[in-house]
Amino acid sequence: MLAMTEEEARTIMKAHRRTYQERSPRRHEKYVYARQKQRGNVVERYICPLSRLGDLTEQELVEKLTTGPAEKP
């Protein structure tokens, strides 16, 4: 299994009309998010910590990009 690089993640996200975004909300670890504009709003979807990006497979990334938010009862 090959480790996914940031460039590969960017390419996969671009193919799914998302943009790659790194954020550090607590200033000690960076996290990867996928951003997309929907109906005039920017929607961010959490992917994983940047340190774990290498453990992510292409299939897992695509699944996270295409799976919708959980339905609320």
Confirm whether 73 is domain-assigned: no
Give me the number of domains the chain comprises: 1
Average pLDDT for 37-61: 90
Confirm whether 32 is domain-assigned: yes
Those residues whose C-beta lies under 8 Å from the C-beta of residue 47, and which sit 6 or more positions away, are 9, 31, 32, 33, 34, 53, 56, 61, 64
Residue 42 belongs to what domain range? 6-64
What confidence tens digit (pLDDT) does each residue in 4-48 have? 889 999 999 999 999 999 998 777 889 999 999 888 899 999 999
Predicted confidence at residue 1, as pLDDT, reads 52
Those residues whose C-beta lies under 8 Å from the C-beta of residue 30, and which sit 6 or more positions away, are 22, 23, 24, 49, 50, 51
Distance CA 38, CA 7 (A): 24
In DSSP terms, 33 is beta-bridged to 21, 46
Confirm whether 54 is domain-assigned: yes
Backbone angles phi, psi at 21, to 5 degrees: -140, 130
Confirm whether 42 is domain-assigned: yes
- Computed over every residue of the chain, the mean pLDDT equals 86
